[in-house]
Amino acid sequence: MELIDNFKHKGLRKKLVDTIRLKGITDEKVLAAIEKVPRHLFLDNVFLEFAAYEDKPFEIGAGQTISQPFTVAYQSYLLDVQKNEKVLEIGTGSGYQTCVLLELGAKVFSIERQKALYTKTKELLPKMGYKTQLFYGDGYKGLPNYAPYDKILVTAGAPYIPQDLISQLKIGGFMVIPVGEGKTQIMTTLFKKSETEIEKNELDTFRFVPLLEDKNWKNNA
Ligand code: SAH
């Protein structure tokens, strides 16, 4: 596949940004990042070349989805990424959200549990010029070897907040995680005030694919 990003794609991206702005995201840094990332390149279905810029999620294979741009913008806004911050992302999927975080200047470490998606995204991102660290593993365990993180972003619906992720957050660090056992989740933010104190805030309802638990995983690197 040739990686073409032409004026038509760029124009559609501007319109997408307008749509997201109208839906209430006013963080200019986030909007600029959305405007930069060529979302159509994450959908290898030629029929979706232009549909990629509608504010919709899409199937990306292995029963998984590329998040809706509004959701990506909203989670990125909540995460309030500063340049050079270390961010752990759970659920790499297509890598679209990963690239938005990279455009915001973060150093991103991202975990995906589906081998096929992991492999595909690991090949695609460098071709697009994005440098990041992708891992095949279980998001529930995080990545202890690179901890602590300034921020942690979970992009799948979690039945509960995994303790390992709280442990790997810096004091003063921040987590954004959709929490819920059923079909919908409550977008939740978590501020680590001290080793023992957590401040939790519950926001709007969303619908994510589930963060799957697999008891047979060995520990992540
Ligand atoms: N950020 C992605 C959204 C992908 S959907 C994007 O922008 O495209 C959520 C992803 O989480 C899926 O790819 C799914 O396979 C992955 N996932 C589910 N459970 C997981 C787990 N326990 N550890 C790591 N990834 C997981």
Q: Look at strands 185-192 and 198-206 and give their pairing.
A: antiparallel
Q: 126-152 burial by CB neighbour count: b if 16+ within 10 A, else e?
A: eeeebebebbbbbbbbbbeebbbbbbb
What's the confidence (pLDDT) of residue 221? 56
CB of 96 within 6 A of ligand 1: the answer is yes
What's the confidence (pLDDT) of residue 65? 87
What's the confidence (pLDDT) of residue 62? 77
**CA 172/CA 149 separation, integer angstroms:** 10
Annotated catalytic residues are 67
Question: Which positions of the chain have pLDDT values less than 50?
Answer: none
Average pLDDT, the chain: 94
Q: What does the pLDDT look like over 44-86, one tens digit per residue?
A: 887 888 999 999 999 887 778 899 999 999 999 999 999 999 9
CB of 209 within 6 A of ligand 1: the answer is yes
**CA 125/CA 114 separation, integer angstroms:** 17
What's the confidence (pLDDT) of residue 17? 98
Note whether 14 and 35 are within 8 A (CB).
yes
Q: What does the pLDDT look like over 161-183, one tens digit per residue?
A: 999 999 999 999 999 999 999 89
What's the confidence (pLDDT) of residue 60? 83
Q: Walk me through the domains of the chain, giving residue ranges and CATH numbers.
A: 7-206 (3.40.50.150)
This prediction has a pTM of 0.96
What's the confidence (pLDDT) of residue 64? 83
**Ranges of H-type helices in the chain:** 7-22, 28-36, 69-79, 96-103, 115-127, 163-167
What's the confidence (pLDDT) of residue 61? 79
CB of 158 within 6 A of ligand 1: the answer is no
Ligand 1 centroid distance, CA of 78 (Å)? 19
CB of 97 within 6 A of ligand 1: the answer is yes
What's the confidence (pLDDT) of residue 108? 98
Ligand 1 centroid distance, CA of 178 (Å)? 12
- CA dist 151 to 14, 15, 58, 81, Å? 28, 29, 26, 8
Ligand 1 centroid distance, CA of 7 (Å)? 31
* Ligand 1 atom 26 nearest Cα: 91
Ligand 1, atom nearest to 156 Cα? 9
